[in-house]
C-alpha cells in the first residue's frame, strides 16, 4: 500500500481547497490505511474551532474533520512555525487531535510518504 500525505496550505472558506482536500482524504481512505494530514502555512487555520463561515455565505465543512478518526485517520500534524507566524499558540484548541512539529520534524515525517497531495 502506498503511504499518502495530504498537505493543507490554504485558509478555510476563502476558496474550495480545504473542502476539496477533505473530500479527497475521505475518498482515499477507502483505498489505503496509510494516510496523514499536514497543516502548514495558512492551512493551520483549517484547525480553528468556532469558525463562522455562514457569515460569508459558505458551507461549514470544518465539522467533517471530526469524523476522520472513524476512518482510521489519526496521523495529523501542524507546523509550529506556521502557528507562530500567525500568532496562534501551539496549544490552541483544535477541531481534531494534532501533533505540533517543528519545521524540520515535519519535513522528516513528510518524507516518509510515497505520495504528497497539496490543497
Distance in angstroms (rounded) separating the CA atoms of residues 43 and 48? 10
- What is the domain range of residue 82? 4-118
pTM: 0.90
Q: What is the pLDDT of residue 22?
A: 94
| Strand partners for 6 | 37, 117
pLDDT, one tens digit per residue, over 57-74 is: 767 777 788 889 889 999
pLDDT, one tens digit per residue, over 103-119 is: 999 999 999 999 999 99
| Strand partners for 77 | 38, 99
The number of folded domains in the chain is 1
Measured between alpha carbons, how far is residue 63 from residues 9, 42, 48, 104, 116 in Å?
A: 18, 18, 11, 30, 24
Q: How confident is the model at residue 56 (pLDDT cuts 50, 70, 90)?
A: low
Using the 8-state DSSP alphabet, how is residue 94 labeled?
B
pLDDT, one tens digit per residue, over 72-111 is: 999 999 999 999 999 999 999 998 999 999 999 999 999 9
Q: What is the CATH number of the domain that holds 58?
A: 3.40.1260.10
Amino acid at each position: 500500500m502506498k503511504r499518502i500525505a495530504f498537505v493543507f496550505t490554504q485558509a478555510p472558506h476563502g476558496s474550495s481547497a480545504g473542502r476539496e482536500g477533505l473530500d479527497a482524504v475521505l475518498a482515499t481512505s477507502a483505498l489505503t490505511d496509510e494516510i496523514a494530514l499536514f497543516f502548514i502555512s495558512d492551512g493551520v487555520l483549517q484547525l480553528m474551532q468556532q469558525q463562522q463561515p455562514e457569515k460569508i455565505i459558505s458551507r461549514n465543512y470544518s465539522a467533517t474533520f471530526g469524523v476522520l478518526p472513524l476512518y482510521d485517520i489519526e496521523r495529523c500534524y501542524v507546523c509550529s512555525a506556521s502557528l507562530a507566524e500567525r500568532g496562534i499558540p501551539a496549544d490552541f484548541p483544535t477541531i481534531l487531535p494534532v501533533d505540533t512539529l517543528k519545521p524540520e520534524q515535519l519535513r522528516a515525517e513528510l518524507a516518509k510518504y510515497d505520495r504528497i497531495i497539496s490543497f
